Structure 1
Amino acid sequence: MKRTIENRLFKKGILIMGLAGLMVVSSCKKFTELSPLSQLSETTAFSNPANIELAMNGVYNRAAVGNYNGGAGRGYPFGAASIEQSEMRGEDMVNLATFYQITYETTITAAASSANNWNMFINLYSLINQCNVVIDGVTAAAGAGTITQAVADQYAGEARFLRALAHHELVINFCRPFVDGNGNKPGVPYRTVAVTGASTVAATLSQTRGTVAEDYTKILVDLDFAETNLPATRTSNKITRATKAAAIALKTRVKLHMNDFAGVITEGAKLGTSGAAAPYTSPIGGYALTASPDGPFATFNNNTESIFSIENGSAANGGVNGALANMFGPAANPLNSQVGRGLVATSPNLYNASFWVTGDTRRSLLQIQQTTNGAKYFFNYKYRDPTTSTDWAPIIRYAEVLLNVAEAYSRTTPLDVRALNLLNAVRNRAVPVADRYTIANFASQNALTQAILNERRVEFAGEGRRWADITRLSQDVNFQVAGGGIPAKILVTALAGDGSNYNTTTRPVTPAAKAAIPYSDFKYIWPIPQDELNANPNLTQNPGY
C-alpha cells in the first residue's frame, strides 16, 4: 500500500521517490558517473558520512537529469531544460522544428497541453522534495552524532541553495513577476516539508499558493542560510557544488527581480563589485572574468568565471532530446564532425542588432554557421559536445554579477561611472577598442541602463536568462518588451536558406510573423499542471486555463 501511495504522489509531482533514487558505492565520486546499484532507506542513507555524501550527490543528480513523463531524463530541471525553455519564451533564438513549438509560439491552451511545461513543474518540485529530505536527514544525523553540526549545516546550505534556485524558477514561469504589485499576485507553494510517505502527505496537500512576495522572502531566507554555512572555496567540484559565492550571486539576481537595487549593490560588494574599475576579483572564491568571452565554455569545468554550473557527464545527461549541445548545436559543423540536431538557431535580429557591434569576438567564438545547404543559419556555440553531452549547464557566472550590479548602480544614480565600469569590464574583452564606451556615449540615465540590458542579451545568449529579464522588466515602460508581454517571434519560414538574414554590414531586420502576446493575456504565465490541482484541492489554477 505504501509503494502505491508513493508512486501516485510521485506522478503528482509532490513526492520524489524519497531516497529510492540515491546512488551508492562507486569508484568515482562524481554524481554524473555514479550507478544506481541499490536503493537506500532514509535510515541507511544518513547512517554514516559516506552515505550522506552520496545522498547529497543524489540531489545534484536530480537537478541535472530529472525525468521526462516519469521516464528517462531530459535535463529537467537544470541540466538543460530551464535554459532551453527560457530561450524559447524569448525572442533571441528561433525555433526551427516542432520540439519547442508550443513554448516558442505560446500556444498552451490547457493545463496538460505542454509536456515541457508539465515536466518543468514536476521536476522542480521533485528536486525541492529531495532537498527537504536531505535537510531532515542531516539534521537527524547531527543529532545522533553521525556528523558534526557544522557539516550538517553545510549540507543543509547546499540543499537550501538548490531549494531557493528551484522555487525562483517556478515563480518566474508560473507566476506574475514580483514587480507587478510588489509581489501581491499568487505565488507557488514554498515547500519545506520532506514528503517521504503517507505520514507526511497531509502538510503538502493542504498547502496553498501564498503570494509571490512570500516566495521571495523565503527564497532569500534560504540563500542567507546558504551564504552563512557554505564554504568559500572547494578543493573539488569547485563549480558544480554550491559555495558561499554562489548563494550571494543568486541573491543579486533575486533582488534584481525585486527592483531592490540597493540590495543588489550590497550583495555584489561582497563579491568585489565595488572597486573603482576593472579588473574585478571576488574576495570570496577568487572569481574573475576570463580573458576571452569563450573561457567559461571552452573550459567549462575549470575556469575563474563560472560560479555555479550543473554538471553533466557521459554517463548522465539530458540525451539527444534535452542536452544543450544537441538542441542548440548545428546539424552540420564546419569545424569538426560533432553535430547537433539544429533545432534552435540564433535569431538574425539579435545577430544583426546595432548594439552588437561588428568585430565583437562573441560572434566569431560563440556563434557558428551551419553548412547545410538551404539552412545556413547561425547557431549558438557555447555547448560543443553533442556526441557525449558533457557540457555543463551554466547557472550563474561572475559576468552576471557584474552586470546585475551595473544595472543597479545605473538605476540608482544617473550616469553612474561605476555602472559604466562594470559594463565595460564584461564588454571590453570582446569588442574592438574603437567601440568601447565612455560616459560621453550616453545622453541620459536610461541610455546607460539600456546599454546594460543590451549587453545582457549578447553576453548571456543561449544561457536561459532572456525570459527572466523579459518578465522582470514587464512593468517598466522604459525597458519593457512588447508592452510588457511576450515578444513577437520569427518563424522558420522567414529564414533564407542561404543565410542572408544574417549580415552585420546591411543588418536586415527579419519580420516576426508570430505576433507579440500582451501582458494581460492569460498565456503570459504557464498553467499549474492539472495533476497537481487534482492532488491538492487547496491550489488555484492560473486564470484563463
Structure 2
Amino acid sequence: MKKVLKQFKIKETVFALGLLTLVCVSSCKKFTDLNPKSALSESSAFSTPANIELAMVGVYNTATVGSYNGGAGRGYPFGAASIIQAEMRGEDMVNLASFYQITYESTITSSTANNINMWSNLYALINQCNVVIDGVTEAAAKGTIPTSVANKYAAESRFLRALAFHELVIDFCRPYVDGNGNKPGVPYRTVGVNSVDKVQDQLKVPRGTVAEDYAQILADLDFAEENLPANTAGAGFTRATKGAAIAFKTRVKLHMNDFAGVITEGAKLGTSAPAGPFTSPISNYTLTASPDGPFVSYKNNSESIFSIENGPASNGDVNGALPNMFGPAANALNGQVGRNLVATSPNLYNAAFWINNDSRRTLLQIQQTTVGAKYYFNYKYREPATSSDYAPIIRYAEVLLNVAEAYSRTAALDTRALNLLNAVRNRAVPVASQYTIANFTNQNALTQAILNERRIEFAGEGRRWPDITRLSQDPTFQVAGGGVPAKILVTALNGSGSNWDVINRPVTLAAKGALPYSDFHYIWPIPQDELNANPVIAQNPGY
C-alpha cells in the first residue's frame, strides 16, 4: 500500500484519483473543491479493477492524513489530531503547551481550527466513501468488476462512513443517551458529490436527529458485516473486515445503552464463552500475552481489529503524527524524541484503582529524562523518526470490556462480566492482585471497576471523551455532573516529577474548573463555512 501511496502522491492530492471532495475549511470559502490536483477523470478511476483498488486506497489515505486548513495533513480525521483531541476533552492527560489549549479548556468557537478541520476532514472522507460506492455500483453494472467485488468495496466505504459519522456525532452533538437520540444530529450525506448539481442537493441535507444518525450508522455497519471478508489478504487489520464491523457495533450500541445489543454483537466475536482465554471465531482475534503487544508489534498482532495505517510516505507529519505528538522530548529507552505536548495526568497515574505493580506502568508509560521536567508520558507510539505507528481504532480488548460492561449493567455481580474484565486486566497484574467476585460488594462496584479499567487500558487511544459523554446522563457513573471534567493546568505541575508518586499518591489541583453539561461549550460548534453554505442547517445553541 505504501508504494501505491507514494506513486500517486496521495499526500499532495485531495484524493488519490482526484475524485471530488466535500470539504468546508476556512482557507477555502467554497463548500466543495471542484478543482482537485493531479486528477484522473472519474470515468478512468472506475474503468479498471486496478484503478478501483487505487480509489479505495485513496479513501483510506484520507482517513490517515487529512488536511489542515486545506494544506498539509495533521492527523485529521483519524490520526494524532482526533485521538489527542478526544484525550484533551477529558482529564486523564495534561496539556503542556499551547497546541491543544483551546480544546483542553473548552474555548473553541465556530471559527477555530480544531472543529473546522475535524468537520471538513470527516466530511471529505464521507464524500470519498460515497463517490466510491456510486462508482463501484456503476462499474458492476457495466461488468467491469463482479457484483460481489463491488459490494466489498461498498462495504469498506460504508464501514469508514459509519466510523466518520460516529466521530461527528460524538464531537458536534449531544449524546444519544440524552433523550434517546432526540437532539439535533449531523447531516447524514450518502450521495457522492462530483458535479455542481449534486453539490446543491447536498447543501440542503438537514441535521436530522442523533437517533436517525445512529440508525444509519448501524445500517452501514450491518451492510459491512454482511459483505466484508473475515480477512483482507496483504492488508491485515488496516482494511475493513467483517470482524471490524461487528466490533464497532459493540461500541455504537454501548453509546446507545443497548446492552443486550452489545452482548449479541460481542458473542459473534467469542465473548459469550464461559471463561477465558477468549478467542473470536471470526478472524481469530485474541488478546496479546503482554499489554504492550498491539503497540510493539503494531503491524502484526492478534489483538488489533482495525487500525489506520501510517508510514514514512503517509502520515500526519510532526504536527499530527502519533509518536511525535504523544512523546517526551527525551527518554532513556531509545533516545528518540517527541514534542512534550501532552503528559499522562498525575491524577490518573496516582489513582487508587491503578495498582503499583501493573505492568502497564512500565511497558506503556515513560518518564521524561530532561532535568526539571520529569513528567510521565504515554508510550504506546514510539517511532517518531518515521511516524509509522498505526492509529488504533478498535482492539479486541475493547470488545471484551464493552461486553463486560453490558453484562455488569444487566445482571447483579455477573461472573461473565468479571471474566471478561479479568481477561484484559490479568495480563498486566500479578496473581495476588487479580479480582475475584468477592472483591465487589454490589453490581455498581463491578461496573465501576470496568470503567476504571478502560481508563488505564485505553489511555492515549482517544477513548476518554467518548466514555465521558456516553456516561453523561448516568447518575452513578457520570463524570463532573455529566459535564466536561476539571483540568490540571501545567502551572500546577511540579517539574521534578514528584506529582507522579504511587507511594504517597498525591492529588494535583485541577485549576481549570469543570464545565457543566448544560454549558453550550460541552459540544463543538458547526463551522461557520458550513452554516454559510447550508441553508437548512442550524448552529448548536450558544455559539
TM range (shorter): over 0.9
Aligned to 2:123, what secondary structure does the other structure show? helix
Aligned to 1:301, what secondary structure does the other structure show? coil
Out of 222, 226, 235, the residue aligned to residue 228 of structure 1 is: 226
Residue 72 (str. 1) matches residue 72 (str. 2): yes
Correspondence for 1:342 = 340
Matching residue's letter, 2:305: I
Question: In the aligned structure 2, how far is the partner of 1:273 from the partner of 1:524?
Answer: 34
Question: In the aligned structure 2, how far is the partner of 1:13 from the partner of 1:472?
Answer: 34
Alpha-carbon shift at residue 286 of structure 1 (Å): 0.5
Aligned to 2:307, what secondary structure does the other structure show? strand
From the superposition, tell whether residues 507 and 514 of structure 1 become closer, same or farther in structure 2 (CA, over 3 Å). same
Out of 295, 302, 305, the residue aligned to residue 304 of structure 1 is: 302
Question: In the aligned structure 2, how far is the partner of 1:266 from the partner of 1:166?
Answer: 24
Report if aligned partners of 2:131, 2:194 keep a CA contact under 8 Å in 1: yes
Correspondence for 1:144 = 142
Residue 539 (str. 1) matches residue 537 (str. 2): yes
**Structure 1 residue runs without a partner (length 5+):** 22-37
From the superposition, tell whether residues 288 and 344 of structure 1 become closer, same or farther in structure 2 (CA, over 3 Å). same
Map Cα deviations across residues 206-238 of structure 1 (whole Å, 9 max, x no partner).
111000000000000000000000001122111
Alpha-carbon shift at residue 8 of structure 1 (Å): 8.5
Correspondence for 1:480 = 478
Alpha-carbon shift at residue 79 of structure 1 (Å): 2.1
Report if aligned partners of 1:373, 1:498 keep a CA contact under 8 Å in 2: yes
- TM-score normalised to the size of structure 1? 0.94
- TM-score normalised to the size of structure 2? 0.95
Correspondence for 2:203 = 205
Residue 506 (str. 1) matches residue 529 (str. 2): no
How many residue pairs get matched? 523
Matching residue's letter, 1:387: A
Alpha-carbon shift at residue 201 of structure 1 (Å): 1.3
Alpha-carbon shift at residue 420 of structure 1 (Å): 0.1
From the superposition, tell whether residues 298 and 9 of structure 1 become closer, same or farther in structure 2 (CA, over 3 Å). closer
From the superposition, tell whether residues 511 and 312 of structure 1 become closer, same or farther in structure 2 (CA, over 3 Å). same
From the superposition, tell whether residues 544 and 197 of structure 1 become closer, same or farther in structure 2 (CA, over 3 Å). same
Matching residue's letter, 1:145: G
Question: In the aligned structure 1, how far is the partner of 2:29 from the partner of 2:188?
Answer: 16
Aligned-pair identity in percent equals 75
Correspondence for 1:30 = none
- List structure 1 segments (4+ residues) > 2 angstroms apart after TM superposition: 5-18
Report if aligned partners of 2:159, 2:224 keep a CA contact under 8 Å in 1: yes
Alpha-carbon shift at residue 80 of structure 1 (Å): 2.0
Correspondence for 1:111 = 110
Aligned to 1:341, what secondary structure does the other structure show? coil
Alpha-carbon shift at residue 342 of structure 1 (Å): 0.8
From the superposition, tell whether residues 352 and 204 of structure 1 become closer, same or farther in structure 2 (CA, over 3 Å). same
Question: In the aligned structure 1, how far is the partner of 2:525 from the partner of 2:124?
Answer: 18
Matching residue's letter, 1:76: Y
Matching residue's letter, 1:443: T
Aligned to 1:176, what secondary structure does the other structure show? coil
Question: In the aligned structure 2, how far is the partner of 1:47 from the partner of 1:390?
Answer: 32
Aligned to 1:94, what secondary structure does the other structure show? strand
Map Cα deviations across residues 144-203 of structure 1 (whole Å, 9 max, x no partner).
000000000000000000000000000001000000000000000001011112021122
Map Cα deviations across residues 421-451 of structure 1 (whole Å, 9 max, x no partner).
0000000000111110000000010000000
Aligned to 2:197, what secondary structure does the other structure show? helix
Question: In the aligned structure 1, how far is the partner of 2:140 from the partner of 2:32?
Answer: 25
Question: In the aligned structure 2, how far is the partner of 1:227 from the partner of 1:7?
Answer: 26
Report if aligned partners of 2:21, 2:124 keep a CA contact under 8 Å in 1: no
Residue 528 (str. 1) matches residue 526 (str. 2): yes
Question: In the aligned structure 2, how far is the partner of 1:367 from the partner of 1:540?
Answer: 43
From the superposition, tell whether residues 12 and 58 of structure 1 become closer, same or farther in structure 2 (CA, over 3 Å). farther
Map Cα deviations across residues 287-346 of structure 1 (whole Å, 9 max, x no partner).
000000000000000000000000000011111111111111000111112100010000
Correspondence for 1:358 = 356
Matching residue's letter, 2:405: E
Alignment of 1:436-475 (within 5 A): 436-475=434-473
Question: In the aligned structure 2, how far is the partner of 1:232 from the partner of 1:388?
Answer: 30
Question: In the aligned structure 1, how far is the partner of 2:29 from the partner of 2:164?
Answer: 17
Alpha-carbon shift at residue 14 of structure 1 (Å): 4.8
Correspondence for 1:48 = 48
Matching residue's letter, 1:251: K
Correspondence for 1:425 = 423
**Structure 2 residue runs without a partner (length 5+):** 1-17
Question: In the aligned structure 2, how far is the partner of 1:379 from the partner of 1:14?
Answer: 39
From the superposition, tell whether residues 15 and 270 of structure 1 become closer, same or farther in structure 2 (CA, over 3 Å). farther
